[in-house]
A and B are shown apart, each in its own frame.
Chain A
Amino acid sequence: AQSVTQLDSQVPVFEEAPVELRCNYSSSVSVYLFWYVQYPNQGLQLLLKYLSGSTLVKGINGFEAEFNKSQTSFHLRKPSVHISDTAEYFCAVSSSGNTGKLIFGQGTTLQVKP
């Protein structure tokens, strides 16, 4: 069975500082990995995804993530955050099956302070 663990439930950071949101997964098969963002009172929006190829993935709004197969991690990073990045971030995994089902982590709340 697959599972996803987001290691921090809340991450407070000052504006213009770098940030890393950590995600570890477990799976016995090849996986696809995703980061979604949820702004207050909204649905989820895809930030970036890893399907294959380069392990460094760039997404929207200046975010990037690195797939590390040996450490089964997919950490999300941004070199300089803005107030507008305050949101909840979800890591998710999908197996290479034919249903597209996602398993989500518990979420990390990023709080950007001025």
Chain B
Amino acid sequence: NAGVTQTPKFRILKIGQSMTLQCTQDMNHNYMYWYRQDPGMGLKLIYYSVGAGITDKGEVPNGYNVSRSTTEDFPLRLELAAPSQTSVYFCASSGTGLGLNEQFFGPGTRLTVL
């Protein structure tokens, strides 16, 4: 049981490039989330999904897109990378019922945009 896995661990992009951050969970969780973490700012929600085919915006969605074609996968897409997107990105998942309120986090992707 791997939990939540993210790839890549590190990435350097040039301004204007695009990339997809991968997230997979093997706990059969319906709910998945993408956060970004900036120093001294805590974690901010980018997008979330309550099930396959259903996604919605969080606090800071601009510059990002997501899709959820399967229960397991929730990729985050950056179309035109900007220096403001330099951050650490975390994917998380949670189950239903009372389990909805505990999120399990992946190890993170550290992204630098130059």
Contact = CB atoms under 8 A, between A and B. Distances in A.
Nearest to A105: B42
A104 B42 contact: yes
A101 B94 CA distance: 10
Interface in B93-114: 94, 98, 100-103, 105-108
A101 B48 contact: yes
Nearest to B56: A99
Nearest to B35: A104
A46 interface: yes
A49 B101 contact: yes
B40 A107 contact: yes
B101 A44 contact: no
Nearest to B93: A100
Contacts of A34: 101-102
B13 interface: no
B43 interface: yes
Contacts of B44: 104
Contacts of B33: 100-102
Contacts, number: 61
Given A43-B90, A44-B90, A101-B33, A106 B101 contact: no
Contact of B108 (A43, A102, A104): A43
* Residue with the highest number of chain B CB atoms closer than 10 Å, among A43, A49, A90: A43
Contact of B43 (A42, A46, A51, A104): A104
17 contacts: A4-B42, A36-B105, A41-B108, A42-B108, A43-B107, A43-B108, A44-B43, A44-B90, A45-B105, A49-B102, A98-B50, A99-B48, A101-B33, A101-B45, A101-B48, A102-B43, A107-B42
Interface of B: 4, 31, 33, 35, 40-45, 48, 50, 56, 58, 90, 92, 94, 98, 100-103, 105-108
